[in-house]
Amino acid sequence: GENVEQHPSTLSVQEGDSAVIKCTYSDSASNYFPWYKQELGKRPQLIIDIRSNVGEKKDQRIAVTLNKTAKHFSLHITETQPEDSAVYFCAGQRAGSYQLTFGKGTKLSVIP
Amino acid sequence: DTGVSQDPRHKITKRGQNVTFRCDPISEHNRLYWYRQTLGQGPEFLTYFQNEAQLEKSRLLSDRFSAERPKGSFSTLEIQRTEQGDSAMYLCAIPRGEGRYEQYFGPGTRLTVT
């Protein structure tokens, strides 16, 4: 089955700096890759996603890139703000399945 | 608000007891998913329904777990003979958005087995 690895597990950045979180996946048949943000005690919230037919997608300060050949995808947050502090999870979904396989998460701390 | 409610929000039970959780989408969705999230980990897929039919089941879903979606609307997840390792957040998710790939989580039911 699919295996998704995520790193780093923790990341601290100064407010205004950029943050990058990287994930790799094992199943070349995977074609959908969402990113979730989870604040303490709350549900994971979908913040951006990408499908395998595109290489990059951007939404305001967040962007996701996908390299199908290398089987890795990344989340980029620019101009970080304290409210970006949370745990971020990447996930992969195999074509033909609706099962999401999640990474172990990255705890992002934005220092004011 | 992602358009799905879960009940109860918290459940404390003693080892060996049975528990049942409910997931209620506000509007009709043909697909419904269950995940489990333990502390410090990402959500883990449990099962998925297409209308009333349970189409995918994870190996995590042991014979003590059963899920139903009798009318293709709400869903229940039952755990029999609970164990301390069952302590987790149980999340229900529904599809939304243009492509229907997206999965949006409900608030979850936090289970504590003592």
pLDDT category at B96 given cuts 50, 70, 90 is: confident
The string of pLDDT tens digits covering residues A66-109 is 999 999 999 999 999 999 999 999 999 998 888 999 999 999 99
CB B61 within 8 A of CB B47: yes
**Phi and psi angles of residue A19, each rounded to the nearest 5 degrees, phi first:** -130, 140
Confidence (pLDDT) at B1: 64
CB B78 within 8 A of CB B72: no
Interface touch A32/B101, C-beta < 8 Å: yes
Residues of B with CB under 8 A from a CB of A: 2, 31, 33, 35, 37, 40-45, 48, 55-56, 58, 91, 99, 101-108
Give the Cβ contact number of residue A91 at 10 Å.
Answer: 27
Confidence (pLDDT) at B86: 96
